[in-house]
Amino acid sequence: MVDTIYVEEEVLEHPRAKLIISKFPLARIIEIDRFGEVFNKRNQNFKIQKINPAIILAKKYKKLILPAPDGFGIGGKRNYYFSHMYNCIYDCRYCFLQGMYSSANYVIFINFEDFAEQIIQINKEFSKDNITFFSGYDCDSLALENITGFLDYILPIFSPYPKSMLEVRTKSAKLKPMAIVSPPDNCIIAYSLMPEIMSKVLDHKAPSIERRIKSMTDLANRGWKIGLRFDPLIYGKNWKELYTELIESISKNIPSEAIHSISFGPLRFPRAMFQKIFKLYPDDILFTGPITQRGSIMAYSEEIENEMALHCRQLFSNFVSDSIIFQCVSEGSSNLSDQV
């Protein structure tokens, strides 16, 4: 239970801020000028803050919607990403957020209207193009949906723009608001996945893979488009069997017609980010694997990466058409992808 909510003075009277605050009647409300006063300051410790994270209610002024790096995408001509939150209630050991900020508090940007305005503007400007908007780069898109109501707000914004696709990346097993609204054609609920026994060790505080598959199944049955995201692929003993079992389990439950796309990518961190994360969790099992420096990134060897990519692509091909399988590559950025 969150026991501290920092609120920027400017949004203190915003109805959405008031609504969020009302959900934590016992929390202490601390007024601040700007969220930078309490977030990502020098000498803060992400790992310790993760014990009892606070909420920070703020307004985002700049860089609300950003173009995705070249090559990033799932088939759209133009790709953008955005985050209405910084940080996540889950604590996954491979997550780059651990190395991104020195603070684990949840920043919620409550000016959803400004996000919507920019999305509309981009859709109007490039109305002839297929555009994909990725939500959930700096957070899990749905994990705090019951608090933020972000998806509930943003979904209808996309309805006049059938060429525009919204990807909502999540590990959450919560079905609201998808369980109560009709599935739009231009929204993908994309689940991050890995074999259950790996997830049990690495995805701290996140719903089990079994629960995620159940949620995907429910959503697929309701007509929602599902994205399967195997990024990062994790190496270890029997990895082939483990990924094979995972895909079998998914394909038994979810009809392939419900799958919008599959993307996968290797475990990789920019070197400086890896060092920050390793310093926080030096005795984590993830770092006992064969992770080595390759130029400016830390990753498994090319041989392992290629073997995993080849095997997994084959597995996915047995389930869905090659045209909806996308592979992320490890050069340079941590999030480049291209079509297989």
Partner 1 sequence: MKNTPVICWIVALKVEAKPIIAYFKMSRIDHGLKFPIFEDQTKNNCLIITGVGQLNSSQATQLLRNENKAPPWAGFINIGIAGHGIASMGTLFLVDKIRQHNSTKYSYPSVVFPLKLPRSELLTSDYPTTDYKRDILFDMEGYGFFKTASRLSPKELIILLKIVSDGPEEDVKNLTGKKVSKLVSANIGSILDVSEKLRSISASEARRLSPPDICSDILSGWHFTVSQEHQLNALVKRWLTAFPNRTLDNEIKKFSDSKQILYFLKSSLDNNKVDWENLW
Minimum CB–partner distance for residue 301 and partner 1 (Å): 8
Tell me if 92 sits within 8 A of 203, measured CB to CB.
yes
Phi, psi for 94 (deg, rounded to 5): -90, 0
Return d(Cα 136, Cα 233) in angstroms, integer: 19
Residue 189: which of 121, 246, 259, 100 has the closest Cα?
Answer: 259
Residue that has been written with the tokens 């029997």 in this structure: 238
Residue 132 tokens read as 């994909």
- Assign 207 to helix, strand or coil: coil
CA 128 from chain centre, in angstroms, equals 27
Closer of 101 and 134 to partner 1 (Cβ): 101
Closer of 32 and 64 to partner 1 (Cβ): 32
Angle at 278 between CA 236 and CA 267, to 5 degrees: 40
Closer of 2 and 157 to partner 1 (Cβ): 2
Report the interhelical angle of 239-253 vs 302-317 (nearest 10°). Answer: 30
Closer of 32 and 89 to partner 1 (Cβ): 32
| Amino acid letter, 175 | L
Q: Report in angstroms the alpha-carbon separations of 238 from 36, 150, 201, 245, 268.
A: 45, 39, 15, 11, 20
Minimum CB–partner distance for residue 54 and partner 1 (Å): 7
By CB under 8 A, name the binding residues for partner 1.
1, 3-4, 6, 28, 30, 32, 37-38, 41, 43-45, 47-49, 51-52, 54, 195, 197-198, 200-201, 234-238, 242, 278-280, 282-290, 292, 301
Closer of 15 and 282 to partner 1 (Cβ): 282
Return d(Cα 115, Cα 83) in angstroms, integer: 9
Burial class (CB in 10 A: 0-12, 13-18, 19+), 297: buried
Minimum CB–partner distance for residue 277 and partner 1 (Å): 12
Minimum CB–partner distance for residue 88 and partner 1 (Å): 18
Minimum CB–partner distance for residue 271 and partner 1 (Å): 13
The torsion region of residue 128 among left (phi > 0), alpha (psi -120 to 50) and beta comes to alpha
Minimum CB–partner distance for residue 321 and partner 1 (Å): 30
Closer of 44 and 339 to partner 1 (Cβ): 44
Minimum CB–partner distance for residue 201 and partner 1 (Å): 5
Closer of 28 and 77 to partner 1 (Cβ): 28
Closer of 212 and 225 to partner 1 (Cβ): 212
Minimum CB–partner distance for residue 248 and partner 1 (Å): 17
Helix ranges (DSSP H) in the chain: 15-22, 46-49, 97-100, 112-125, 145-148, 150-158, 196-202, 209-221, 239-253, 271-280, 302-317
| Amino acid letter, 188 | I
Minimum CB–partner distance for residue 270 and partner 1 (Å): 17
Closer of 158 and 274 to partner 1 (Cβ): 274
Residue 239 tokens read as 């990895």
